[in-house]
Structure 1
């Protein structure tokens, strides 16, 4: 679903989200983690707008931290549930029609190859790409090569980068515009490019880091051993 269309759909529930921000945001983000065909980004932008609404008479940092914690909890819960289903049900999960519609065979093949190449770091990288998160987390669970703790750690690192940025952008935009329709119009393209840019930068850095590490290991293996000393 396009970002602008999704933002309009979520914007229709704006009043409801304002009344019950914590449970609604957690619920929406948890459902996103297990296959709801709505990207997380508009929800995170809305959380930033909610922080503006809630910060009247208080320090805004408190509400920004609150929204960040709430959204992180919802995202991590959904991702861990997705990982758990992949671990416990395995490939049988793809018998469910709605899962198979999202995790198509070409996507599964690409995700499994990516996971085989980059291991647990693929969990961190997938956090920045809406179209591959679900498939990657199912694949990580099915592989049985990643513990729950390792999955949670790598996913948390990704959340630590992506969530505060999105919420902060939503906060700034709402503070300036004070109108959800205007905010979503201003933010749609900009936010998408920003997140994609950050994700691309991190991915390039990671690939270069892996190549350098592999080159260092190869150099150590090629290094000749010291000749034996003279006999005593």
Structure 2
């Protein structure tokens, strides 16, 4: 079953909880499809499903900020052995190459890596634990985490919600345009067929030409 179809079967309160939980666990360092769940829920909120986009954005933001903060604490306590353990458990996401790339990003950009990491799938998983492992000052991490989490979650919810509203309105208009176009195409086709038939009928009625030598 598609994520959006499944979310449509549960009450709005459960949708808010699922979005916050999935995004929180993903931000904590466990690879989950947080962005897919958020986009699906936001699109559902644009379809008069009873899901409030403001509450949805707030829950997504809360999950993002809380999950990253817990990930930071775990990374600070676990250190590099934690990254090695995650590499064994999730080699596709926490391979040595991915960890090295994330470390270079953090060394180069500092707290901006936490902020912009929220918008990049791979860094979104790394941001919290890696910031803790590298002992980034917590106030810097929290500032970047809070801004990135709220802008990413709230912005994604708002954009998808309004795109869904516009798309629904456009599809309604398109249905009328499509009906009108179908009628016009049908009438044009009928006229063309009638003209073709009349032309063929006229050609049959014309007398055959007489040869001069006969």
TM bin, normalised by shorter chain, reads: 0.5 to 0.7
Unpaired segments ≥5 residues, structure 2: 172-214
Moved segments of 4+, more than 4 Å: none
Alignment check: 8 A CA contact 2:28 2:129 kept: no
Structure 2 equivalent of residue 43 of structure 1: 37
Distance 1:166 1:22, change over 3 A: same
Distance 1:177 1:107, change over 3 A: same
**How far, CA to CA, are the matches of 1:95 and 1:19 in structure 2?**
35
Determine which structure has more spread, i.e. the larger CA radius of gyration: 2
Distance 1:119 1:173, change over 3 A: closer
Q: How does 1:46-195 map to 2 (within 5 A)?
A: 46-52=40-46, 53-54=49-50, 63-93=52-82, 94-96=84-86, 97-147=88-138, 149-176=139-166
Alignment check: 8 A CA contact 1:44 1:170 kept: no
Say which of 26, 31, 55 aligns to 2:20: 26
**How far, CA to CA, are the matches of 1:133 and 1:159 in structure 2?**
10
What is the TM-score of this pair, normalised by structure 2? 0.66
Deviations 1:132-189 (A, max 9, x none): 2222332211111321x321210111123222221123323443566xxx9xxxxxxx
Structure 2 equivalent of residue 207 of structure 1: none
**How far, CA to CA, are the matches of 1:143 and 1:37 in structure 2?**
20
Structure 1 equivalent of residue 3 of structure 2: 10
Deviations 1:83-111 (A, max 9, x none): 11111101111224324442110111111
Alignment check: 8 A CA contact 1:87 1:142 kept: yes
Distance 1:17 1:30, change over 3 A: farther
Alignment check: 8 A CA contact 1:45 1:169 kept: no
Deviations 1:4-50 (A, max 9, x none): xxxx6422422126462222221111122234433332222233234
What is the TM-score of this pair, normalised by structure 1? 0.61
Unpaired segments ≥5 residues, structure 1: 1-7, 56-62, 183-232
